[in-house]
Amino acid sequence: MAIQSTHYQLPQQTHFYKGKVRDVYTIQDEILVMVASDRISAFDVVLPKPIPYKGQVLNQIASNFLEATKDIIPNWVLSVPDANVTIGKKCEPFKVEMVIRGYLAGHAWRTYRSGTKELCGVLMQSGLKENEAFPEPIITPTTKASHGHDEDISREQILAKGIVSESDYIQLEKFTRLLYARGQEIARKRGLILVDTKYEFGKIGNQIYLIDEIHTPDSSRYFYLEGYEERLKNNEAQKQLSKEFVREWLIANGFMGLDGQKVPEMTPEIVRLISERYIELYENIIGEKFIKAEQNNIEQRIENNILSAIEKLKK
């Protein structure tokens, strides 16, 4: 059984938002209850079939890394009452996602290969190979779209349009680099390379918080450290743990989220493979065996745990 969507009516609920992969409930305009569903998106399109345990994997990896980085920046989390749920403070989100790339891979490589050496106003040096490390990580922000596609944007455009103030943006860049360095450090201890990732930030008053998820396969790309140099030298594809293999499968079957394109059939085998890859990433990056949450009456389990957590927050 997998969670396609939830439809709770929680006490003192003031808002509900269905994101690409999360159902977000607002309580008294102050608390967010974020349910990580098993929906999966690629190219900003939600695919037709959910992936068993994907939501649990994302929620528990994010929880682990938010805990491991709270000395760098405070985060939004108040409690994690269920394998698929995080409850936290409602922040005013910045309208940009801070993408940081340590290696020439994915979207950066596709841009570079097309002959364009500039991405989000950042010049990428000539002569690099696919998956090679940049001399230093580059920050390539995107807009945070409520609907449709996020779009690349430069630091200069963000400041010129007043999307983020200069003083805040300087802080966002600083936190992004510190968080990425911590993520790389933890990944290397697990025999992985954190290739690229994105962070989202919000504000309550003058305090900036880290929000949403971090260092999950939906927001990050990982390579295996072992064999990386050899594959790079031989111009071979890197063994990786990320959602990129889903994108590659879609591209190979003629889908990139463009108008008129149809999502290829998600066979039970494809669904099982994707689920196994998510669990594999969890076990590698966390360094522990993945324990599957109870799947019987899954929606009731989640609701009971949310209600219990909300009651505790009132005390």
| The CATH number of the domain covering residues in 93-245 | 3.30.470.20
Contact 98, 176 (CB under 8 A): yes
95 burial level (CB within 10 Å; 0-12, 13-18, 19+) = middle
pLDDT, tens only, 266-301: 999 999 999 998 898 899 989 999 999 988 889 999
Contact 187, 194 (CB under 8 A): yes
Residue 90 has pLDDT above 80, yes or no: yes
Residue 243 has pLDDT above 90, yes or no: no
Tell me which residue of 36, 150, 22, 115 sits closest to 82, measured CA to CA.
36
Contact 211, 254 (CB under 8 A): no
Q: CA 202, CA 247: separation in Å to the nearest integer?
A: 29
Please state the rounded mean pLDDT for residues 147-162: 88
Name the pLDDT band for 245 (thresholds 50, 70, 90): confident
Name the pLDDT band for 17 (thresholds 50, 70, 90): very high
What is the model's pLDDT at position 148? 56
pLDDT, tens only, 44-76: 899 999 999 999 999 999 999 999 999 999 999
- The β-bridge partners of 23 are 18, 35
What is the model's pLDDT at position 244? 77
**Distance from chain centroid for Cα 108:** 17
Report the mean per-residue pLDDT for the chain.
94
pLDDT, tens only, 126-152: 999 999 999 999 999 999 866 556 799
Those residues with Cβ within 8 angstroms of residue 273's Cβ, 6 or more apart along the chain or in another chain: none
Share of the chain above pLDDT 90, in %: 86
Whole-prediction pTM value? 0.90
User: What are the residue ranges spanned by the domains of the chain?
Assistant: 93-245
What is the model's pLDDT at position 36? 96
